[in-house]
Structure 1
Amino acid sequence: MAQSRPRFLVYTRTTAYRHDSIPEGVRAFRELGAEHGFDVAATEDPRALERGLDRFAAVVFLSTSGDVLTPEGREALRSLLRGGGGFMGVHAAACTEYGWPYYGELLRARFDRHPALQPGVLTIEDRDHPATGHLGATWAFTDEWYDFRASPRGAVRVLASADETSYEGGGMGADHPLVWCHEHDGARVFYTALGHTCEAYDDPAFRAHLLGGLRHVARSQP
């Protein structure tokens, strides 16, 4: 019997700042699915999560912001993770559900601030991961260079960090993780702070980065 194709849900609801790049991000995930043999559904409707998530290998929060889940949706997300599903957060996913402690534990960091959009450089700390294995020792990128309220290092596997000497306005100093993974409640979790601009989602290196995150959280090779 042929195996079914993995399915991912890309969730894009915003109740605070809304990124213009969200449609480009959804398009990128759908095109990755078409190229690599998995299905992508996208929604901003919280009721879609209330109906259950067990048909998905993982959920991606793509630049969500503010409170985006109902109580029933929160429980559905918990159920997915405890059942072996995965979670991936992209960019403003760290600006989401500030009042739900479980989500803070899931992501392991909360957004604090960012300087102006500008070019900078990431230090690739771990290339033994599908999201960073295609990169060299450094990665030049243009983004908002999120600062977090505290570094998650020690609670997560840091894959890449910001080199604050490469741009203006960094606020975390030498320990500034931007990409990481860990396990929470039995689920694999991946987060990347990158993804502010529309142009990022046409960048082959960034698309490979996103695909690697999906492969990690789904415990598969889509």
Structure 2
Amino acid sequence: MPTPDVLIYTRTTGYRHDSITDGAAALMELAHELGRKAEVTDDPEAFTTGRLARCAVVVLLSTTGNVLTPEGRTAFEAYLRGGGALLAVHAAANAEPDWPFYGELLGTRFDGHPELQPGIVLVDDHDHPATAPLPDRWEWTDEWYNFTSDPRGGGKHEGTGKPGDGSESGVWILARADETSYRGGTHGDDHPLVWCREIDGGRVFFTALGHAAETYRDPVFRAHLSGALSWLTAR
């Protein structure tokens, strides 16, 4: 039986990031380093039960707008509930605005961003392969996404979402934005940027980072993405 592969999906029906080409190339390389074949596509017809059954991970790379067909939504939900995995990168928080399941999957929606600028990422938990290689205070330049709500639902006092901590939401916050380090944040001192969760038998990982093309050539950011891929496939 062939090794399940990585499907990198890049379709946009809204704003399209110039970094998608670089991001797709980087994710292809990282998948190959983990021993996985990878395919890049913007064809919504790829989201069928048969194609998804061969996927270890589906990556939504800065997808925006409604990018799936009704049939694709049905197949993708079944895939995730049946043990599949999703890596949602950057503008993927602005995908599928008309699909309630996708909003529940991420726990929130994109709500704008300030101008591209330097700031600091606060890494809350290094006990995850995606954040293990990151410094506690990571100097970074990005768009610093704001969201419509806290992905944990009940806020930071509900728990980290780390398995076994009793959090009801199941959302494990890995890193936050330090809003004192840049202009335009709307969440105060608890601004989640990177998180993950499990849903039924599947896994979901989201990183709000990844706006610029050069991001995908940065070795620390590549280690961040590689760690996310390794966690998503470690089942």
TM range (shorter): over 0.9
Deviations 1:181-207 (A, max 9, x none): 011232111000000000100001100
Gaps (5+ residues) in structure 2? 153-157, 159-168
Of the three residues 172, 195, 215, the one matched with 2:210 is: 195
**What is the alpha-carbon root mean square deviation over aligned residues?**
1.3
Partner secondary structure for residue 113 of structure 1: coil
Structure 2-normalised TM-score? 0.89
In structure 2, C-alpha distance between the alignment counterparts of 1:25 and 1:187, rounded to whole Å: 24
In structure 1, C-alpha distance between the alignment counterparts of 2:146 and 2:47, rounded to whole Å: 29
In structure 2, C-alpha distance between the alignment counterparts of 1:92 and 1:47, rounded to whole Å: 21
Match of 1:161 in 2: 176
Deviation of residue 91 (structure 1)? Answer: 0.1
Deviations 1:33-74 (A, max 9, x none): 233311111110101113530000110100000000001100
Partner secondary structure for residue 24 of structure 2: helix
Alignment of 1:69-218 (within 5 A): 69-153=68-152, 154=158, 155=169, 156-218=171-233
8 Å CA contact 1:180, 1:191 repeated in 2:
yes
Gaps (5+ residues) in structure 1? none
Letter of the 1:140 counterpart: E
In structure 1, C-alpha distance between the alignment counterparts of 2:182 and 2:210, rounded to whole Å: 17
8 Å CA contact 1:66, 1:98 repeated in 2:
yes
In structure 2, C-alpha distance between the alignment counterparts of 1:109 and 1:218, rounded to whole Å: 24
Of the three residues 4, 8, 30, the one matched with 1:10 is: 8
Deviations 1:59-95 (A, max 9, x none): 0100000000001100111121122111110000100
Deviation of residue 172 (structure 1)? Answer: 1.3
Deviation of residue 218 (structure 1)? Answer: 1.7
Structure 1-normalised TM-score? 0.94
Alignment of 1:52-63 (within 5 A): 52-63=51-62
Indicate the larger mover: 92-101 or 27-36.
Answer: 27-36
Partner secondary structure for residue 130 of structure 2: coil
In structure 2, C-alpha distance between the alignment counterparts of 1:87 and 1:36, rounded to whole Å: 16
Letter of the 1:176 counterpart: H
Which 4+ runs in 1 deviate beyond 2 A? Answer: 3-6, 33-36
| Aligned residue pair count | 218
Deviations 1:161-195 (A, max 9, x none): 00000111111111100000011232111000000
In structure 2, C-alpha distance between the alignment counterparts of 1:138 and 1:40, rounded to whole Å: 32
In structure 2, C-alpha distance between the alignment counterparts of 1:44 and 1:28, rounded to whole Å: 16
Identity %: 57
